[in-house]
Amino acid sequence: MKFKFIEEKIAKSVMIVFALLVVGFVVNIIYTILRRGLPALNWDMISKIPEGGYYNGGGGGILNAIVGSLYIVLGSAFLGLLFSIPIVFYLNVFLKKDSKFAYIARLAFDVLFGIPSIVYGAFAFTIMISLGMHTSLGGGILVITLLIIPIFIRSMDEVAIQLPKDLLDATYALGATKLETIKVVLLQIAPGIATATLLSVGRAIGDAAGVMFTAGFTDSIPTSLSQPAATLPLSVFFQLSSPNAAVQDRAYSAALILIFIVLVISITGRVITNRFSKNKI
């Protein structure tokens, strides 16, 4: 056999092994969570807030953390989209391809992308102190918004940067102003917006460090933005820190719920985008 065919066979096997390795990790993680979490999972877990002594094996559930996490994720995803769509639109439609400002802005977003969430948390915390704010749902939403805006922008930008020039020209040629092209642009980059949202939501719901100082933790469900809020990752953390094995198992159940929520959001997101992106050219 010719060398180049052997080469191809080896390369292909390497790819398959690596792919299986990654899939193996995921399967292993999910298996561990299922093995320890599933037996501990019961209706009380998702329908009740912690009762007295919950973290020492008492009754109740983690509804506080589920609701808190959903509030923070939905709030920050909404705010994140609200801020990042105009930015991406400005970068790609209003600025010329080789604009210096666009270059600097993109660089800044890349740097922000890499900043760990604990730094965002600490940064937001100092601001909150100077404003006299307490740990609260509002604070948590703000810091997670800050955390995911760079993810939103960079992943949407990667798609928007490939907007066909002809498409914009065709729209301008009809007499559209730059702003009026927004419908065309949004429809064209809809899959990018979906991917960005899913990435952001995944990051937002899994983040523990950012919300630790800002949203705090509580056993009750917040009823206003100024009350502290519990989150699933912190709930996992607190339960896992317990010396009691039964409570540790509950941490795995909480992780299971977390993964399930991410899964539901991802699938819904995909279905919605497929509806919107059917027109993409």
CB atoms within 10 A of CB 115: 13
Report if residue 171 touches another protein, rule: CB under 8 A. Answer: yes
Report if residue 114 touches another protein, rule: CB under 8 A. Answer: no
# chain residues binding another protein, by CB under 8 A: 25
**Options 2, 43, 98, 131; binder of another protein; rule CB under 8 A:** 98
Q: Torsion-angle region of residue 95: left (phi > 0), alpha (psi -120 to 50) or beta?
A: beta
Exposure b/e, 125-141, CB count within 10 A at least 16 = b: beebeeeebebbbbbbb
Helix (H, G, I), strand (E, B) or coil at 227: coil
Report if residue 103 touches another protein, rule: CB under 8 A. Answer: no
Nearer to another protein among residue 86 and residue 164 (C-beta):
164
The residue among 63, 65, 51, 55 whose CA lies nearest residue 229 is 65
In the complex, the smallest distance separating the C-beta of residue 192 from another protein, rounded to whole angstroms, is: 12
Tokens at residue 55, please? 């973290």
**Options 21, 173, 223, 224; binder of another protein; rule CB under 8 A:** 173
The residue among 83, 79, 77 whose CA lies nearest residue 268 is 77
Report if residue 100 touches another protein, rule: CB under 8 A. Answer: no
Per-residue contact string for residues 193-222; x = within reach of another protein by CB under 8 A: ------------------------------
Q: Residues interacting with another protein, by CB under 8 A? A: 96-98, 164, 166-177, 180, 183-184, 187-188, 278-281
